[in-house]
Structure 1
């Protein structure tokens, strides 16, 4: 924002030096750029779609009894939408919980899960899925993003 001479003199009377954010509405100054907000909105939308798809796949399309008790707690971009961190938790408290075993089984079938996500989501490239198995004492994060 270019300041005219009169406004600049008025501002200098109130402060020692003029900075780039002087005279700018703070709501506009601290708002992220439009394209950044758009990308963030799209990344969160993708995370919600991936969470819904994986919940359905875990619920019964895998045919694996050990993984059918998993529920998606959250899906977050890590660090961007090309790679997603999927947090899952075990919904069967009566079963013995083996975190490392579940993590290795998820790594083994991550290709199939990525294929299911690619079929459900319209994107040029399917995101790479990384899994985090939450401990049974951890409460679910309560959302998909």
Structure 2
């Protein structure tokens, strides 16, 4: 006894495309988040190895696709006593080094371009 495999598939092509399309989107998002996490770790480690008093105290807050995984925005927190413009200028000076460190830390055919956004220093404390 053989089963008729064509039964029930007439309307399933449309449903399958929408289902698997959503699964593919989730997979891409997961891969982008994974890449951002790897880049955040690599940039943090690379900044710790740079002999620059200002960049030594910079904290990598987040990395996000800008607009996709081909270009990543590295969001850093400026240390107290340093202006965001000064930190941005110093980061631009070492951008090539940071990208090379990212290239050695990830496994991808193309290394993403890094852009930097510098947040002002936190002004928290007891008043």
Alignment of 1:1-145 (within 5 A): 2=11, 33-59=22-48, 61-90=49-78, 92-93=79-80, 96-137=81-122
Mark the runs of 5 or more structure 1 residues left unpaired by the alignment. Answer: 3-19, 140-145
- Greater than 3 Å deviation, 4+ residue runs: 29-32
d(CA) in 2 for partners of 1:76, 1:32: 23
Larger radius of gyration between Structure 1 and Structure 2: 1
Residues 113 and 138 of structure 1: CA distance in aligned 2, closer, same or farther (over 3 Å): farther
SS in 1 for 2:64: strand
Equivalent pairs, count: 112
The normalised TM-score by structure 1 is 0.68
Name the structure with the higher helix share. 2
Superposition deviation, residue 137 in structure 1: 3.3
d(CA) in 2 for partners of 1:118, 1:110: 12
SS in 2 for 1:97: coil
CA RMSD in angstroms comes to 2.5
d(CA) in 1 for partners of 2:111, 2:72: 10
Mark the runs of 5 or more structure 2 residues left unpaired by the alignment. Answer: 1-9
The normalised TM-score by structure 2 is 0.77
